[in-house]
Amino acid sequence: MGPFEIFAIAVAIVLVITVAASVVIVPQGSNFTVERLGRYVRTLKPGLRVVVPFVEKIGHRVVMMEQVLDIPTQDVITRDNVEVQVDAVAFMQVLDAAQSAYAVADLRQAMITLVLTNTRTVMGSMELDELLSNRDAINSRLLRIMDEATHPWGVKISRIEIKDINPPADITEAMARQMKAERDKRAEILEAEGDKSARVLQAEGLKQSLILEAEGRKEAAFRDAEAREREAEADARATEMVSRAIAEGNVQSINYFVANRYVEALKNLASAENSKVLMMPVEAASVIGAIGGITELTREAFGSPGGQPPPAAPDGADRGTQHSALTTDGQNGKGNGQPSPAQSELAQWDGQADQANGPAPASESHAAPIEQHEAQQRETATASEMSNRAQSNGRADDGSGSGTS
Protein backbone atom coordinates (compact mmCIF):
# COMPACT_ATOMS: atom_id res chain seq x y z
CA MET A 1 0.00 0.00 0.00
CA GLY A 2 1.42 3.35 -1.01
CA PRO A 3 1.68 6.48 1.12
CA PHE A 4 -1.28 8.15 -0.56
CA GLU A 5 -3.58 5.34 0.29
CA ILE A 6 -2.47 5.39 3.91
CA PHE A 7 -3.15 9.13 4.12
CA ALA A 8 -6.59 8.72 2.61
CA ILE A 9 -7.50 6.06 5.13
CA ALA A 10 -6.33 8.25 7.99
CA VAL A 11 -8.34 11.20 6.73
CA ALA A 12 -11.44 9.04 6.47
CA ILE A 13 -11.03 7.80 10.01
CA VAL A 14 -10.64 11.34 11.27
CA LEU A 15 -13.74 12.44 9.41
CA VAL A 16 -15.75 9.61 10.90
CA ILE A 17 -14.59 10.44 14.39
CA THR A 18 -15.30 14.12 13.84
CA VAL A 19 -18.81 13.49 12.59
CA ALA A 20 -19.52 11.14 15.47
CA ALA A 21 -18.28 13.71 17.95
CA SER A 22 -20.35 16.51 16.47
CA VAL A 23 -23.69 14.70 16.49
CA VAL A 24 -25.63 14.61 19.85
CA ILE A 25 -29.01 12.96 20.48
CA VAL A 26 -30.95 14.60 23.36
CA PRO A 27 -33.68 12.31 24.83
CA GLN A 28 -37.22 13.54 25.59
CA GLY A 29 -37.60 15.07 29.06
CA SER A 30 -33.98 16.19 29.24
CA ASN A 31 -31.90 19.21 28.33
CA PHE A 32 -28.15 19.31 27.69
CA THR A 33 -25.94 22.28 28.38
CA VAL A 34 -23.15 22.97 25.85
CA GLU A 35 -19.82 24.35 26.98
CA ARG A 36 -17.32 25.81 24.55
CA LEU A 37 -13.81 25.79 25.89
CA GLY A 38 -15.29 25.52 29.41
CA ARG A 39 -17.87 28.28 29.04
CA TYR A 40 -21.65 27.73 28.84
CA VAL A 41 -22.90 28.74 25.43
CA ARG A 42 -26.31 27.16 24.89
CA THR A 43 -28.82 24.46 25.87
CA LEU A 44 -29.72 21.56 23.64
CA LYS A 45 -33.37 20.56 23.46
CA PRO A 46 -34.59 17.00 22.88
CA GLY A 47 -33.74 15.60 19.42
CA LEU A 48 -30.69 15.29 17.08
CA ARG A 49 -28.29 18.12 17.74
CA VAL A 50 -24.82 19.08 16.39
CA VAL A 51 -21.93 20.55 18.32
CA VAL A 52 -18.50 21.67 17.21
CA PRO A 53 -16.23 18.72 17.80
CA PHE A 54 -13.19 19.12 19.99
CA VAL A 55 -14.30 22.68 20.82
CA GLU A 56 -17.74 22.24 22.37
CA LYS A 57 -18.85 19.56 24.74
CA ILE A 58 -21.92 18.56 26.76
CA GLY A 59 -21.64 20.20 30.17
CA HIS A 60 -24.70 18.83 32.18
CA ARG A 61 -27.49 16.50 31.35
CA VAL A 62 -30.49 17.93 33.21
CA VAL A 63 -33.77 16.01 33.73
CA MET A 64 -36.71 18.36 33.06
CA MET A 65 -39.42 16.05 34.37
CA GLU A 66 -41.01 16.39 37.83
CA GLN A 67 -38.97 14.63 40.46
CA VAL A 68 -39.70 13.38 43.97
CA LEU A 69 -37.54 14.36 46.91
CA ASP A 70 -37.88 12.00 49.86
CA ILE A 71 -37.21 14.20 52.88
CA PRO A 72 -35.62 12.31 55.78
CA THR A 73 -37.43 12.13 59.15
CA GLN A 74 -36.41 14.85 61.57
CA ASP A 75 -37.26 15.93 65.12
CA VAL A 76 -39.12 19.21 65.50
CA ILE A 77 -39.82 21.05 68.75
CA THR A 78 -43.17 22.82 68.71
CA ARG A 79 -43.99 26.12 70.35
CA ASP A 80 -45.44 24.34 73.40
CA ASN A 81 -42.15 22.40 73.84
CA VAL A 82 -43.33 19.07 72.48
CA GLU A 83 -40.80 17.11 70.44
CA VAL A 84 -42.34 15.39 67.44
CA GLN A 85 -40.96 13.43 64.53
CA VAL A 86 -41.90 14.79 61.12
CA ASP A 87 -41.69 12.99 57.81
CA ALA A 88 -42.28 14.94 54.58
CA VAL A 89 -42.02 14.61 50.81
CA ALA A 90 -41.48 17.27 48.10
CA PHE A 91 -42.11 17.40 44.36
CA MET A 92 -39.81 19.55 42.20
CA GLN A 93 -39.38 20.35 38.50
CA VAL A 94 -36.47 22.06 36.71
CA LEU A 95 -37.63 24.95 34.56
CA ASP A 96 -34.21 26.30 33.50
CA ALA A 97 -31.47 23.73 32.85
CA ALA A 98 -28.61 26.26 32.81
CA GLN A 99 -29.62 27.83 36.16
CA SER A 100 -30.14 24.48 37.83
CA ALA A 101 -26.74 23.34 36.51
CA TYR A 102 -24.66 26.44 37.20
CA ALA A 103 -26.56 28.28 40.04
CA VAL A 104 -26.14 25.59 42.68
CA ALA A 105 -23.49 22.93 43.01
CA ASP A 106 -25.73 20.02 44.16
CA LEU A 107 -29.32 20.83 43.39
CA ARG A 108 -30.85 17.73 44.96
CA GLN A 109 -29.02 18.00 48.24
CA ALA A 110 -29.70 21.72 48.38
CA MET A 111 -33.42 21.10 47.92
CA ILE A 112 -33.53 18.47 50.70
CA THR A 113 -31.66 20.70 53.11
CA LEU A 114 -33.90 23.65 52.31
CA VAL A 115 -37.07 21.61 52.92
CA LEU A 116 -35.79 20.34 56.29
CA THR A 117 -34.85 23.82 57.44
CA ASN A 118 -38.13 25.44 56.48
CA THR A 119 -40.11 22.57 57.98
CA ARG A 120 -38.48 23.12 61.37
CA THR A 121 -39.10 26.86 61.06
CA VAL A 122 -42.77 26.60 60.16
CA MET A 123 -43.71 23.77 62.52
CA GLY A 124 -41.67 25.17 65.39
CA SER A 125 -43.88 28.26 65.44
CA MET A 126 -47.03 26.22 66.00
CA GLU A 127 -48.44 24.20 68.87
CA LEU A 128 -49.03 20.47 68.79
CA ASP A 129 -52.78 20.76 68.35
CA GLU A 130 -52.28 23.08 65.40
CA LEU A 131 -49.80 20.69 63.82
CA LEU A 132 -52.23 17.81 64.07
CA SER A 133 -55.24 19.73 62.79
CA ASN A 134 -53.73 22.17 60.26
CA ARG A 135 -51.60 20.12 57.90
CA ASP A 136 -52.95 21.92 54.86
CA ALA A 137 -51.88 25.25 56.30
CA ILE A 138 -48.40 23.86 56.98
CA ASN A 139 -48.11 22.57 53.41
CA SER A 140 -49.19 25.93 51.98
CA ARG A 141 -46.66 27.88 54.04
CA LEU A 142 -43.82 25.51 53.16
CA LEU A 143 -44.69 25.62 49.47
CA ARG A 144 -44.70 29.42 49.41
CA ILE A 145 -41.35 29.66 51.22
CA MET A 146 -39.67 26.98 49.09
CA ASP A 147 -40.92 28.49 45.83
CA GLU A 148 -39.38 31.83 46.69
CA ALA A 149 -36.10 30.22 47.75
CA THR A 150 -35.67 27.95 44.70
CA HIS A 151 -36.72 30.43 42.02
CA PRO A 152 -33.08 31.60 41.37
CA TRP A 153 -32.12 27.97 40.79
CA GLY A 154 -34.52 27.55 37.93
CA VAL A 155 -36.52 25.02 39.95
CA LYS A 156 -40.19 25.04 40.88
CA ILE A 157 -41.56 23.21 43.96
CA SER A 158 -44.95 21.93 42.87
CA ARG A 159 -46.04 20.30 46.18
CA ILE A 160 -44.81 19.66 49.71
CA GLU A 161 -46.70 17.13 51.79
CA ILE A 162 -46.29 16.27 55.48
CA LYS A 163 -46.54 12.49 55.51
CA ASP A 164 -46.51 11.85 59.22
CA ILE A 165 -46.27 13.60 62.59
CA ASN A 166 -45.37 11.31 65.48
CA PRO A 167 -45.64 12.73 69.02
CA PRO A 168 -43.99 10.95 71.97
CA ALA A 169 -45.68 7.90 73.50
CA ASP A 170 -46.91 9.72 76.63
CA ILE A 171 -48.38 12.50 74.51
CA THR A 172 -50.08 9.91 72.33
CA GLU A 173 -51.66 8.27 75.39
CA ALA A 174 -52.82 11.64 76.71
CA MET A 175 -54.31 12.46 73.33
CA ALA A 176 -56.12 9.11 73.30
CA ARG A 177 -57.63 9.82 76.72
CA GLN A 178 -58.61 13.30 75.61
CA MET A 179 -60.23 11.96 72.48
CA LYS A 180 -62.14 9.36 74.50
CA ALA A 181 -63.33 12.01 76.95
CA GLU A 182 -64.43 14.25 74.10
CA ARG A 183 -66.39 11.47 72.46
CA ASP A 184 -67.98 10.53 75.80
CA LYS A 185 -68.96 14.16 76.21
CA ARG A 186 -70.54 14.25 72.77
CA ALA A 187 -72.39 11.01 73.48
CA GLU A 188 -73.77 12.42 76.74
CA ILE A 189 -74.79 15.62 74.98
CA LEU A 190 -76.59 13.69 72.27
CA GLU A 191 -78.28 11.49 74.87
CA ALA A 192 -79.34 14.54 76.87
CA GLU A 193 -80.71 16.20 73.75
CA GLY A 194 -82.64 13.05 72.90
CA ASP A 195 -84.05 12.85 76.43
CA LYS A 196 -84.96 16.52 76.25
CA SER A 197 -86.77 16.03 72.96
CA ALA A 198 -88.62 13.01 74.37
CA ARG A 199 -89.68 14.95 77.49
CA VAL A 200 -90.81 17.88 75.36
CA LEU A 201 -92.91 15.57 73.21
CA GLN A 202 -94.37 13.89 76.30
CA ALA A 203 -95.17 17.28 77.82
CA GLU A 204 -96.82 18.40 74.59
CA GLY A 205 -98.89 15.22 74.52
CA LEU A 206 -99.91 15.66 78.17
CA LYS A 207 -100.77 19.27 77.48
CA GLN A 208 -102.99 18.32 74.56
CA SER A 209 -104.68 15.58 76.58
CA LEU A 210 -105.33 17.97 79.48
CA ILE A 211 -106.71 20.55 77.08
CA LEU A 212 -109.02 18.01 75.50
CA GLU A 213 -110.09 16.72 78.91
CA ALA A 214 -110.79 20.26 80.11
CA GLU A 215 -112.79 20.95 76.98
CA GLY A 216 -114.75 17.75 77.59
CA ARG A 217 -115.48 18.75 81.18
CA LYS A 218 -116.47 22.20 80.00
CA GLU A 219 -118.85 20.77 77.42
CA ALA A 220 -120.30 18.31 79.96
CA ALA A 221 -120.77 21.10 82.51
CA PHE A 222 -122.42 23.23 79.86
CA ARG A 223 -124.78 20.41 78.91
CA ASP A 224 -125.51 19.67 82.58
CA ALA A 225 -126.22 23.31 83.28
CA GLU A 226 -128.47 23.46 80.24
CA ALA A 227 -130.35 20.36 81.44
CA ARG A 228 -130.75 21.82 84.93
CA GLU A 229 -131.92 25.08 83.40
CA ARG A 230 -134.55 23.30 81.32
CA GLU A 231 -135.64 21.25 84.33
CA ALA A 232 -135.94 24.43 86.39
CA GLU A 233 -137.96 26.03 83.60
CA ALA A 234 -140.28 23.00 83.55
CA ASP A 235 -140.69 23.17 87.34
CA ALA A 236 -141.34 26.89 87.10
CA ARG A 237 -144.00 26.35 84.45
CA ALA A 238 -145.62 23.59 86.54
CA THR A 239 -145.59 25.79 89.63
CA GLU A 240 -147.01 28.67 87.61
CA MET A 241 -149.83 26.48 86.31
CA VAL A 242 -150.62 25.23 89.83
CA SER A 243 -150.57 28.79 91.16
CA ARG A 244 -152.89 29.87 88.37
CA ALA A 245 -155.24 26.98 89.17
CA ILE A 246 -155.24 27.93 92.87
CA ALA A 247 -155.94 31.54 91.98
CA GLU A 248 -158.89 30.37 89.88
CA GLY A 249 -160.27 28.39 92.85
CA ASN A 250 -159.14 24.87 91.83
CA VAL A 251 -157.60 23.66 95.10
CA GLN A 252 -157.29 20.08 93.85
CA SER A 253 -154.36 21.11 91.63
CA ILE A 254 -152.10 21.89 94.58
CA ASN A 255 -153.13 18.59 96.20
CA TYR A 256 -152.23 16.75 93.01
CA PHE A 257 -148.89 18.56 92.81
CA VAL A 258 -147.99 17.78 96.44
CA ALA A 259 -149.09 14.15 96.09
CA ASN A 260 -146.91 13.66 93.03
CA ARG A 261 -143.87 15.07 94.81
CA TYR A 262 -144.55 12.90 97.86
CA VAL A 263 -144.85 9.74 95.77
CA GLU A 264 -141.66 10.58 93.86
CA ALA A 265 -139.77 11.09 97.12
CA LEU A 266 -140.94 7.71 98.46
CA LYS A 267 -140.01 6.07 95.17
CA ASN A 268 -136.49 7.51 95.30
CA LEU A 269 -136.03 6.28 98.86
CA ALA A 270 -137.22 2.80 97.99
CA SER A 271 -135.06 2.52 94.84
CA ALA A 272 -131.72 3.29 96.57
CA GLU A 273 -129.29 0.36 96.16
CA ASN A 274 -127.75 0.68 99.61
CA SER A 275 -131.07 0.98 101.44
CA LYS A 276 -131.88 -2.07 103.53
CA VAL A 277 -134.17 -0.53 106.19
CA LEU A 278 -136.32 2.55 105.58
CA MET A 279 -137.25 4.76 108.55
CA MET A 280 -140.53 6.31 107.45
CA PRO A 281 -141.83 9.55 109.08
CA VAL A 282 -144.85 8.54 111.18
CA GLU A 283 -145.82 11.88 112.67
CA ALA A 284 -149.57 12.00 112.82
CA ALA A 285 -149.96 15.39 111.25
CA SER A 286 -147.76 14.75 108.21
CA VAL A 287 -149.05 11.24 107.46
CA ILE A 288 -152.76 12.12 107.88
CA GLY A 289 -152.31 15.29 105.86
CA ALA A 290 -150.66 13.39 103.01
CA ILE A 291 -153.36 10.67 103.06
CA GLY A 292 -156.11 13.25 103.14
CA GLY A 293 -154.63 15.06 100.13
CA ILE A 294 -154.31 11.82 98.19
CA THR A 295 -157.90 10.85 99.13
CA GLU A 296 -159.31 14.13 97.93
CA LEU A 297 -157.30 13.90 94.69
CA THR A 298 -158.52 10.36 94.00
CA ARG A 299 -162.15 11.11 94.70
CA GLU A 300 -162.03 14.20 92.57
CA ALA A 301 -160.44 12.27 89.68
CA PHE A 302 -162.77 9.25 89.73
CA GLY A 303 -165.93 11.18 90.59
CA SER A 304 -167.89 11.83 93.84
CA PRO A 305 -171.33 13.25 94.59
CA GLY A 306 -171.83 16.92 95.06
CA GLY A 307 -170.61 19.91 93.14
CA GLN A 308 -169.52 22.12 95.98
CA PRO A 309 -165.89 22.40 97.07
CA PRO A 310 -165.01 20.27 100.07
CA PRO A 311 -165.06 21.80 103.49
CA ALA A 312 -161.82 23.11 104.80
CA ALA A 313 -159.75 20.36 106.30
CA PRO A 314 -158.63 20.77 109.85
CA ASP A 315 -155.10 21.94 110.38
CA GLY A 316 -152.20 19.60 111.01
CA ALA A 317 -152.51 19.71 114.79
CA ASP A 318 -156.29 18.93 114.83
CA ARG A 319 -155.96 16.09 112.34
CA GLY A 320 -153.00 14.76 114.23
CA THR A 321 -155.14 14.82 117.38
CA GLN A 322 -157.98 13.08 115.61
CA HIS A 323 -155.62 10.43 114.26
CA SER A 324 -154.18 9.89 117.72
CA ALA A 325 -157.69 9.58 119.13
CA LEU A 326 -158.58 7.19 116.34
CA THR A 327 -155.64 5.00 117.16
CA THR A 328 -156.38 5.03 120.89
CA ASP A 329 -160.07 4.37 120.43
CA GLY A 330 -159.33 1.63 117.99
CA GLN A 331 -157.13 0.00 120.55
CA ASN A 332 -159.66 0.43 123.34
CA GLY A 333 -162.81 -0.43 121.39
CA LYS A 334 -161.57 -3.42 119.46
CA GLY A 335 -162.77 -5.81 122.12
CA ASN A 336 -166.46 -4.76 121.97
CA GLY A 337 -166.60 -4.14 118.16
CA GLN A 338 -167.95 -0.55 118.60
CA PRO A 339 -166.29 2.43 116.77
CA SER A 340 -164.71 5.01 118.95
CA PRO A 341 -165.91 8.61 119.01
CA ALA A 342 -162.81 9.74 117.15
CA GLN A 343 -163.44 7.20 114.41
CA SER A 344 -167.03 8.34 114.10
CA GLU A 345 -166.01 11.98 113.88
CA LEU A 346 -163.36 11.27 111.20
CA ALA A 347 -165.85 9.17 109.19
CA GLN A 348 -168.42 11.96 109.44
CA TRP A 349 -165.88 14.50 108.17
CA ASP A 350 -164.92 12.24 105.24
CA GLY A 351 -168.60 11.82 104.36
CA GLN A 352 -169.13 15.55 104.29
CA ALA A 353 -166.09 15.94 102.08
CA ASP A 354 -167.44 13.28 99.70
CA GLN A 355 -170.82 14.97 99.46
CA ALA A 356 -169.26 18.38 98.89
CA ASN A 357 -166.79 17.33 96.22
CA GLY A 358 -169.30 16.02 93.73
CA PRO A 359 -168.34 14.54 90.39
CA ALA A 360 -165.14 15.81 88.85
CA PRO A 361 -165.22 17.67 85.54
CA ALA A 362 -164.71 15.54 82.45
CA SER A 363 -161.54 17.36 81.47
CA GLU A 364 -159.91 16.65 84.82
CA SER A 365 -161.06 13.00 84.95
CA HIS A 366 -159.47 12.31 81.59
CA ALA A 367 -156.37 14.50 82.02
CA ALA A 368 -154.21 12.02 83.90
CA PRO A 369 -156.00 8.64 84.34
CA ILE A 370 -152.80 6.67 84.80
CA GLU A 371 -151.49 8.88 87.61
CA GLN A 372 -154.90 8.91 89.33
CA HIS A 373 -155.16 5.14 89.18
CA GLU A 374 -151.70 4.78 90.70
CA ALA A 375 -152.63 7.27 93.45
CA GLN A 376 -155.81 5.25 94.20
CA GLN A 377 -153.81 2.03 94.49
CA ARG A 378 -151.30 3.70 96.84
CA GLU A 379 -154.19 5.10 98.95
CA THR A 380 -155.82 1.68 99.22
CA ALA A 381 -152.52 0.06 100.25
CA THR A 382 -151.86 2.75 102.85
CA ALA A 383 -155.36 2.49 104.36
CA SER A 384 -155.09 -1.30 104.49
CA GLU A 385 -151.76 -1.10 106.25
CA MET A 386 -153.09 1.36 108.84
CA SER A 387 -156.12 -0.88 109.47
CA ASN A 388 -153.90 -3.89 110.00
CA ARG A 389 -151.75 -1.95 112.43
CA ALA A 390 -154.85 -0.82 114.36
CA GLN A 391 -156.13 -4.40 114.58
CA SER A 392 -152.73 -5.63 115.78
CA ASN A 393 -152.61 -2.95 118.45
CA GLY A 394 -156.14 -3.88 119.55
CA ARG A 395 -155.26 -7.54 119.93
CA ALA A 396 -152.21 -6.59 121.93
CA ASP A 397 -154.35 -4.47 124.29
CA ASP A 398 -156.86 -7.31 124.71
CA GLY A 399 -154.10 -9.71 125.61
CA SER A 400 -152.60 -7.35 128.13
CA GLY A 401 -156.02 -6.70 129.69
CA SER A 402 -156.71 -10.42 130.08
CA GLY A 403 -153.36 -10.96 131.71
CA THR A 404 -154.02 -8.16 134.17
CA SER A 405 -157.42 -9.50 135.18
Q: What is the pTM of this model?
A: 0.44
pLDDT band at 38 (very low <50, low <70, confident <90, very high): confident
Domain boundary pick from 248, 268, 285: 248
- Shared domain for 281 and 309, answered yes or no, is yes
379 domain-assigned? yes
- Shared domain for 223 and 281, answered yes or no, is no
Number of separate domains in the chain? 4
255 domain-assigned? no
278 burial type by CB count under 10 A (0-12 exposed, 13-18 middle, 19+ buried) = exposed
268 domain-assigned? no
**Do residues 397 and 334 make contact, with C-beta atoms less than 8 angstroms apart?**
yes
**Do residues 63 and 29 make contact, with C-beta atoms less than 8 angstroms apart?**
yes
- Shared domain for 129 and 141, answered yes or no, is yes
- In the prediction, which pLDDT does 322 show? 41
- Shared domain for 85 and 100, answered yes or no, is yes
Q: What is the pLDDT of residues 169-198, one digit of tens each?
A: 888 888 888 888 999 999 999 999 999 999
- Shared domain for 123 and 202, answered yes or no, is no
- Shared domain for 394 and 283, answered yes or no, is yes
323 domain-assigned? yes
CA distances from 192 to 169, 180, 181, 187, 326 (A): 34, 18, 16, 9, 89
Pairwise pLDDT comparison (44 vs 303), residue with the higher score = 44
Which residues form the domain of 235?
Answer: 169-248
Give the C-alpha separation, 120 to 86, whole Å: 9
261 domain-assigned? no
Domain boundary pick from 12, 31, 63: 63
- Shared domain for 281 and 365, answered yes or no, is yes
270 domain-assigned? no
- Shared domain for 329 and 346, answered yes or no, is yes
- In the prediction, which pLDDT does 274 show? 62
How much is the mean pLDDT over the chain? 73
- Shared domain for 290 and 396, answered yes or no, is yes
**Do residues 82 and 168 make contact, with C-beta atoms less than 8 angstroms apart?**
yes
Maximum average pLDDT range among 219-223, 294-298, 335-339: 219-223
**Do residues 94 and 63 make contact, with C-beta atoms less than 8 angstroms apart?**
yes
Domain boundary pick from 141, 167, 193: 167
- Shared domain for 242 and 291, answered yes or no, is no
258 domain-assigned? no
312 domain-assigned? yes
- Shared domain for 215 and 316, answered yes or no, is no
| DSSP-assigned states of every residue in 303-340 | --S-SSPPPPPP-HHHHHHHHHHHHHHHHHHTTTTPPP
**314 CB-near residues (< 8 Å, 6+ apart):** 322, 349
- In the prediction, which pLDDT does 114 show? 92
Closest CA relative to residue 72, chosen from 135, 146, 164: 164
Closest CA relative to residue 337, chosen from 268, 398, 291: 398
- Shared domain for 56 and 120, answered yes or no, is no
CATH number of the domain enclosing 114:
3.30.479.30
Closest CA relative to residue 123, chosen from 136, 138, 143: 138
pLDDT band at 113 (very low <50, low <70, confident <90, very high): very high
- In the prediction, which pLDDT does 383 show? 60
**Do residues 119 and 88 make contact, with C-beta atoms less than 8 angstroms apart?**
yes
Q: What is the pLDDT of residues 118-142, one digit of tens each?
A: 999 999 888 888 888 888 889 999 9
- In the prediction, which pLDDT does 115 show? 92
